[in-house]
């Protein structure tokens, strides 16, 4: 795949590329970070953080592509989603192996990560009915009303490390199938599996500029939150970062969807089956390596 490559054949180290205007390119930055297997501490690759100029170029490409993409018939956009879900199914095993290596969850959990994201791509294939408006005749004398679904423009997504397949697939398929263009900033900790999915999206027929990818940390996030051409931002991650994104983007007039961490509880009743309860507690607390927003953090038990 072109989204990641092996520049150092003697080491096998891969580099996560940027995607700008349909081209996978290496960032010109000198700021980079290792991608580390958390189980073995093996360095799997490197991710280079995008410069401000590269982020601006990605947004400009998305803005330019929006004019024609919003006019693309719904059926044409839907066919791309149909092709994307087919390609994800065909490559699910290989993506899961990379996801396991860079994120640390078990192979079964990695496949589940992708499957959950795939369900959203399948949902995006229903865009024909999802985009229907409403028409009401005779609201008043000589007055009818109707609603139309219109794309916003350039949207951005900021995704966390714990679900590098599912959460990007929550965002960019629905955004672009509805006629928006998109700039994705995946987690810098494990971007390789995300980039494999992005590569499949391009293979499925997403036009140049409709989907763009930049890597980076706070500087890139802040630029996405403040750029005048970004109309909406979706974020998933920690409460501290999510609060920052919500406040900063909101101050700059953007629609913001910020999904943050939660405190999850379980109440064990006095008559609960002990063995079933213990198994359920372990799975709820430590499934997906314990790295999920719904992971159990508090168990409340009654004394008898």
Residues recognised as catalytic: 293
d(CA 22, CA 168): 18
The answer to whether the beta carbons of residues 117 and 166 sit under 8 Å apart is yes
Q: What is the DSSP letter of 205?
A: T
Q: CA nearest 19: which of 168, 215, 153?
A: 215
> Rounded to 10 degrees, what is the CA torsion of 21, 25, 29, 33?
110
Burial class for 285, CB neighbours closer than 10 Å (0-12, 13-18, 19+)? middle
d(CA 196, CA 179): 23
- Location of structure tokens 């349909």: 22
The answer to whether the beta carbons of residues 215 and 186 sit under 8 Å apart is yes
The answer to whether the beta carbons of residues 121 and 85 sit under 8 Å apart is yes
């Amino acid at each position: 795949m072109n989204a990641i490559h092996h520049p150092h054949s003697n080491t096998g180290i891969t580099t996560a590329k940027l995607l700008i205007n349909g081209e996978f390119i290496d960032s010109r930055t000198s700021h980079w970070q290792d991608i580390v297997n958390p189980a073995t501490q093996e360095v799997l690759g490197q991710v280079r953080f995008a410069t401000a100029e590269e982020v601006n170029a990605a947004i400009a490409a998305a803005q330019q592509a929006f004019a024609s993409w919003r006019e693309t018939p719904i059926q044409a956009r839907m066919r791309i989603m149909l092709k994307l879900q087919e390609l994800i199914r065909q490559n699910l095993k290989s993506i899961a192996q990379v996801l396991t290596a860079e994120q640390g969850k078990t192979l079964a959990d990695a496949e589940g990560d992708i499957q959950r994201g795939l369900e959203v791509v399948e949902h995006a294939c229903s865009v024909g009915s999802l985009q229907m408006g409403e028409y009401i005749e005779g609201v008043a004398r000589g007055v009818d009303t109707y609603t139309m679904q219109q794309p916003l423009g350039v949207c951005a997504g900021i995704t966390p490390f714990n679900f590098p397949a599912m959460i990007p697939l929550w965002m960019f398929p629905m955004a672009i199938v509805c006629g928006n263009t998109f700039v994705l900033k995946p987690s810098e900790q494990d971007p390789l599996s995300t980039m494999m999915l992005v590569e499949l999206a391009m293979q499925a027929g997403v036009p140049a500029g409709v989907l763009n990818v930049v890597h980076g940390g706070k500087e890139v996030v802040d630029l996405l939150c403040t750029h005048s051409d970004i109309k909406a931002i979706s974020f998933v991650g920690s409460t501290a970062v999510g609060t920052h994104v919500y406040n900063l983007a909101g101050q700059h007039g953007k629609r913001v969807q910020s999904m943050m961490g939660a405190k999850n509880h379980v109440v064990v009743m006095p008559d609960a089956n002990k063995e079933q309860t213990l198994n359920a507690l372990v799975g709820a607390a430590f499934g997906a390596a314990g790295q999920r927003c719904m992971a159990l953090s508090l168990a409340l038990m009654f004394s008898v």
